Amino acid sequence: MATTVVPTETPPLLEDLSALGHIANRVPRTMVVTGASRGMGLATAEKLAAYGHKVVGVARTAPEEFPGDFIQADLSDERSTARLVKRLGDRYQVDGLVNNAGNVQPGSLEEATSHDLRDSVEIHVRAAIQIAQSLIPGMRERGWGRIVNMASVVPLGSVRRTTYGAAKGALIALTRGWAAELGADNITVNAVGPGAIDTVLLRNNFPVGSEAEARYLRMIPMGRVGHPEEVASVIAFLCSEEASYVTGQVIYIDGGYSAGRAMF
């Protein structure tokens, strides 16, 4: 078998490319993160700020500490969202948008109501469209933009998630459609699909040490829940210069849950 010789020094060209990549990833941009007061949204804001970006967080309530500017807004209300987008337009040149705001209303098909469906669509879909519509002209004018939508593994098939699954499935469809529309303008659009991530929303349904948690963990090949920072790292990559040729994709961050489903 042939022996591979590992060079002891990095070729000058590769050193130059590596340095350029490092610098490119630190080009300061202005990023808006919705649902940024806790969990994956806050972790994403912290990660983007650590990369040198200016972060504008949005949520109904402000956290005690935040690594950037924060605007309180209720994205489940169209008029509140309209006030938000005006404020963003007046104060910032936004380069990237992370649509993370959302809620979960567990319920079977029989239990789902039209009110529940409207609530899910308003915050997951309508708000994402409304904010993106307001920011796209500026991104197009500057010839650079990033949109990351917070999807989920739920549209792959989950019980008691009728309205939530419908809304997250719509976000995936929007992601692919927007990527096709905006690619020529150097605006990438992707989605992440988290699985079981250790957040308040998860623990409300799967308390630590519960039988419900044990059943869920048995379906995850890695045998553990994920952490918000692991989702944030993928989002930060999708918002970077290095992800310039990645668009229209859904990246599942689920410890192998989506791949392992074929086992059960």
Q: How far is CA 211 from CA 28, 218, 246, 260, in A?
A: 45, 11, 39, 20
Q: Tally the residues of the chain.
A: 264
Q: Which helix (H) or strand (E) holds 56?
A: strand 54-59
The secondary structure of residue 49, as a DSSP letter, is: H
Q: How far is CA 244 from CA 56, 57, 115, in A?
A: 22, 24, 39
Q: How far apart are CA 104 and CA 201, in angstroms?
A: 8
In the annotation, is 252 catalytic? no
Q: How far apart are CA 241 and CA 257, in angstroms?
A: 29
Which residues lie below 8 Å from residue 85, measured CB to CB, with a gap of 6+? 130, 131, 134, 135
Active-site position among 164, 216, 245, 257: 164
Q: How far apart are CA 125 and CA 149, in angstroms?
A: 10
Residue 193: strand pairing partners: 252
Instruction: Tally Cβ neighbours within 10 Å of residue 90.
Output: 7
Confirm if 45 and 233 have CB atoms less than 8 A apart. no
Could you list the active site residues?
164
